[in-house]
Amino acid sequence: MTDRHGVPLDGQVAIVAGAGRGIGSAIARRLAAMGAAAVLCGRTRGSLEATAQAVRKEGGRAEIVDCDVTELRSVEAMAAQVNATLGRIDILVNNAGVGDLESPLHELPPEAWDRILNTNLRGVYYCMRACVPAMIQRRAGHIINISSLAGKNPLPNGAAYAASKWGLNGLTYAVAEELRGYHIRVAVVCPGSVYTAFSPHTGKDSGKMLKPEDVAHVVAMLVTQSPQSFASEVLLRPSLKP
């Protein structure tokens, strides 16, 4: 809700996993612009520094915490550091993701399967496991899981990525029911084609694709809902097919 000074997230702390580039960077910048202290998490320090610089240039607050979401100890250390230094966790955005969108499943190496599922699904479990207790203690919070329309539709040559996103959607629905009694809202955002370095652009008109800022706009809407409402899922498509 908006405070009397018109800064919707003033005093809140928002953790954004995968904040170094693309969608995660846009979300971190947007939440910081709304008054939150943005905690930027990821494995690549240089890209996190670039996002932090952008946040600070726009007058926001950014803190960098090195974190590998595939390592439980790394995630637990991140959450402990945030709790110790900032005293609270209000928003968790699970955006870290990887994928192989060019290999049929029977040709996908097992290590690639593990990398995709461990990052896109197990990593979300680790982050929620580490951050939810602080939200329960405050009896408030938002968890936004960034999924994909690949978690709704077939994705030939991207089966492992699709499996991780279908799994993420199911995980979100279940945990939303577990936590709603604590006034913690868990939602999933499923974007279509977003113009980032991650997405395949072959044969697509980039001018018609979604932009990272479009996803950030949806996240901003979700974390500023009125207390009695709960938008649990958003499917975000380009206005025109790219």
Residue 125: active-site member: no
Catalytic residue among 125, 126, 161, 182: 161
Residues 41 and 63: beta-carbon distance below 8 Å: no
- Neighbouring CB atoms inside 10 A of 29's CB total 25
Element (DSSP H or E) covering residue 30? helix 22-33
Residues 175 and 201: beta-carbon distance below 8 Å: no
218: left (phi over 0), alpha (psi -120 to 50) or beta: alpha
Burial class (CB in 10 A: 0-12, 13-18, 19+), 42: buried
Catalytic residues: 161
